[in-house]
Amino acid sequence: MPSAETPLAASVGAALVEAADPARAPGMQAYMKSAMPYLGVSAVPLRRVCRALFKDLAWPDGEAWQGDVLALWRGAEFREQRYAAIELSGVKAARPFHTLAALPMYEEMVVTGAWWDFVDAIAAQRLWAILQNEGGPMKRAMLAWSTDQDMWKRRSAILCQLKAKTGTDLELLYGCIGPSLESKEFFLRKAIGWALREYAKTDADEVRRYVARSEARLSGLSRREALRNVGPS
């Protein structure tokens, strides 16, 4: 059920309406294949609105922060309001709250968002922040997500280390990829290739070795994406 509108959510909604170009909305909705309508606020003005509204925010605890994020997320009538909720979740004042206690909130956002524009930002940025803060428990959580029936949770687990570079936990990366190697889901195949391609920027030889030893199970799409910038040898 949608949360009651908070003063912050109301301010965000009003500011987004003011920043909107309604003529852009139909095209944005069509591009994203979204059932939820758009106001017509592109990325740059949306971030500008969020910076202005969120710059002085502070919360006494993680519960209060989650309350504001979820009120904006659940009450959204337009897709930009959900983008704003993701922006709100990542403000500087929220950094101390990126612990395992925040994972149920992000799980709700991933499952109810159920599309790549929401999921990828949450996975690569917010889940990664929790992984940095609580490595062991979060690793176990992501391995559990990697076998979940929900495709978007699986994709999130695969992508949660996109920013890790030399800090990539290969056991976790391959553990999250493994359960989806034989999936026919486009968004899982694409995620596998993307995660491997990103790590190839750090260790191309390791990615080539992984692709070679997984050849029988790896889809052509995942393989092409993984090796796009480094080639097979």
Average pLDDT, the chain: 96
| Sign of the four-CA dihedral 16, 36, 191, 160 | positive
Residues whose CB falls within 8 Å of the CB of residue 75, separated by 6 or more in sequence, listed in order:
2, 3, 4, 5, 9, 81
CATH level 2 (architecture), domain 1-96: Alpha Horseshoe (1.25)
Q: Please, where in the chain does CATH 1.25.10.90 lie?
A: 1-96, 98-233
Annotation: CATH topology of 98-233 = Leucine-rich Repeat Variant (1.25.10)
Which residue stretches of 115-215 are H helix?
A: 116-121, 128-133, 135-145, 151-159, 170-177, 186-200, 204-213
Would you list the DSSP string of 24-60?
Answer: GHHHHHHHHT-SS------HHHHHHHHHHHHTT---S
Cβ atoms of 160 and 142 closer than 8 Å: yes
Give the type of residue at 222: S
Cβ atoms of 142 and 110 closer than 8 Å: no
Q: For residue range 143-193, list pLDDT tens digits in order.
A: 999 999 999 999 999 999 999 999 999 999 999 999 999 999 999 999 999
What pTM was estimated for this model as a whole? 0.95
**CA–CA distance, 153 with 56 (Å, rounded to integer):** 32
Span 16-43, mean pLDDT?
97
Give the type of residue at 129: A
What share of the chain in percent tops pLDDT 90?
Answer: 96
Predicted confidence band of residue 231 (pLDDT cuts 50, 70, 90): confident
Cβ atoms of 196 and 210 closer than 8 Å: yes
Q: For residue range 56-109, list pLDDT tens digits in order.
A: 999 999 999 999 999 999 999 999 999 999 999 999 999 999 999 999 999 999
